[in-house]
Structure 1
Amino acid sequence: MKEFRSLIFIALAAIGAIVLSSCGTTTSHVLPAYEPPLARSDFQTVRTTAYTHTESDHLQFTNHNALGGELQAAGPPIHRADNSRVPSGFEGDYRIASYTPAPQPFSMNDEEPRTRPAVSKATPASMTTTRTVKIVRGKRVVVRAKPQPPKIGSAAADWSRWPVGTTFRLLSTGQIYRVDDYGWALAGRNTIDLYMATPAEMNAWGARQEPIQILRWGERDEALRFLAPHQDYKHIRRMVLELQGNEEAAARLQ
């Protein structure tokens, strides 16, 4: 019986060592090479990669992010977003998005309903309302659709560079993501990892330089409060050091 208990203890210890080493608590797992942070700006060009919850290094966390919530895939691409300043009255609300109406079929029949381009109108809640104007028998008929906020996807990043809650838009697709996760390979790196629902979508994205627009910056103090109790893990310790303004120590940490 004692031998059986000893075998169980050894097995559990081995499993624990594997899990902890993946989190960076052993000296054999070296942190990625440190990169100086990008300049803080509402418009940045960032190295992006993609991940999904079925990858081997994420299986233990299932489909949950660092905050304990479920990982979310972004909505479908909208269009190439305009590289412009946030409109006045936006106030950092991530829910505003622009939509391009689809081309309308040409017709010589005046009796056939025709649809004019959609007009986006921001409500007090900064939602996007689509108003469609149709011409039926020479009369204008206005049809208003219910406000539809864009679906926000999950993203993982170094929280000392993009604090938890940072919300941004990919300018190439118009999709919106929010930082709610982090990872070992992202600590001290200028990389944002975008969550994808399937391995096929992850592989299709690959790795690419992507211009982004920050819609809302997360709070550094909030990120520090969340990370500070978990500094036994080296990647978290590196983020904490940088949040505390000690970039040299963060760079030296291996």
Structure 2
Amino acid sequence: MTFRLSSAAALIALLFSSCASDSDLTVLSKSRATSSSGGMARSGGIVHGCAVYTTAQPSASLAPQAAGKPKDKHGMAFYKPSERTRLVRTTAYTCSEDDHIEYGSMNAAGTPLRYTDRVRSAAADWAVYPVGTVFRIKGMKQLFVVDDYGSALTGTNTVDIYTPCKSHMNTWGRRNVELTVVQWGSYARSAEILSKRVHHPHCAQMYAAINRLTSGQTASTAAR
């Protein structure tokens, strides 16, 4: 089956037919991230005070299942695409960090970063989680969409969760979670975007990895 970025968007629309307008799915630009609301970050018109990110304890069966799998530099397992529920190392980031500040509130896919009660952005190695991948984290009600990447994520199974400000980022910290892929994104779309950015080493690495993964596959299979 062919999974593209538009498929992920359609899935979100289906799951949340009462979802707010597009303006509620975007993050205000960095220069407007703080205001007279006592320094609280605003995202899509929603005020976020002291964040509480509650994630559930991963299922006990996940650690033994990961034991014999190839590992990344953090000792976390790589999984087959068919293994949608997995134990994943997560970190957090925000658009006001030094290494993201030049991009403001835009993600690597060229659209606004998202942070609402329904849908939130995430970054990952696109050779592991291609752009448009939709996932859930056990214990959280939101859907997350991979629409960003980062040089520190390349070659790892780590997922970086977007947060609207540094205090939220620090609250999330680093934690291992139970992640379930709801919808795979598109390797074809990932490669299309990355092909124009191979002068950056991490983009070149992801682009080469995707080409290795998809070589010899049919067009419909490679789109995953």
Deviations along 1:127-168, one digit per CA (max 9) or x if unpaired, are: xxxxxxxxxxxxxxxxxxxxxxxx210000000100000000
Deviations along 1:85-127, one digit per CA (max 9) or x if unpaired, are: xxxxxxxxxxxxxxxxxxxxxxxxxxxxxxxxxxxxxxxxxxx
Alignment correspondent of 1:13: none
Q: Give the superposed CA RMSD.
A: 2.1
SS in 1 for 2:121: strand
Provide the rounded CA distance (Å) in 1 between the counterparts of 2:192 and 2:99. 25
Q: How many residues align?
A: 141
Provide the rounded CA distance (Å) in 2 between the counterparts of 1:214 and 1:33. 22
Shift of the 33–232 alpha-carbon distance from structure 1 to 2, 3 Å rule, reads farther
Task: Work out which of the two has the higher radius of gyration on C-alpha atoms and give 1 or 2.
Answer: 1
Question: Is 1:219 paired with 2:201?
Answer: no
Structure 2, unpaired ranges of 5+: 1-71, 214-224
TM-score (norm 1): 0.52
Q: Does the aligned pair in 2 maintain the 1:74–1:177 contact within 8 Å?
A: no
TM-score (norm 2): 0.59
Find the partner of 2:126 among 115, 140, 159.
Answer: 159
Q: Does the aligned pair in 2 maintain the 1:172–1:210 contact within 8 Å?
A: no
Find the partner of 2:104 among 39, 48, 62.
Answer: 62
Structure 1 residue 182, shift from structure 2 partner? 0.5
SS in 1 for 2:189: helix
SS in 2 for 1:47: strand
Alignment correspondent of 1:144: none
Provide the rounded CA distance (Å) in 1 between the counterparts of 2:74 and 2:170. 25
- The within-5 A match list for 1:6-21 is none
Provide the rounded CA distance (Å) in 2 between the counterparts of 1:233 and 1:34. 23
Shift of the 34–200 alpha-carbon distance from structure 1 to 2, 3 Å rule, reads closer
Provide the rounded CA distance (Å) in 1 between the counterparts of 2:100 and 2:195. 22
Alignment correspondent of 1:53: 95
Over 2 Å off, 4+ runs? 32-40
Structure 1 residue 208, shift from structure 2 partner? 0.5
Structure 1 residue 229, shift from structure 2 partner? 2.1
SS in 1 for 2:209: helix
Alignment correspondent of 1:90: none
Amino acid aligned to 1:215: V
Q: Does the aligned pair in 2 maintain the 1:34–1:188 contact within 8 Å?
A: no
When you count strand as a share of all residues, which structure comes out higher?
Answer: 1
Structure 1 residue 34, shift from structure 2 partner? 9.1
Structure 1, unpaired ranges of 5+: 1-31, 76-150, 247-254
Question: Is 1:44 paired with 2:86?
Answer: yes
Structure 1 residue 245, shift from structure 2 partner? 1.5
Q: Does the aligned pair in 2 maintain the 1:163–1:179 contact within 8 Å?
A: yes
Alignment correspondent of 1:185: 152
Q: Does the aligned pair in 2 maintain the 1:74–1:154 contact within 8 Å?
A: no
Provide the rounded CA distance (Å) in 2 between the counterparts of 1:34 and 1:245. 23
Provide the rounded CA distance (Å) in 1 between the counterparts of 2:212 and 2:74. 15
Amino acid aligned to 2:105: N
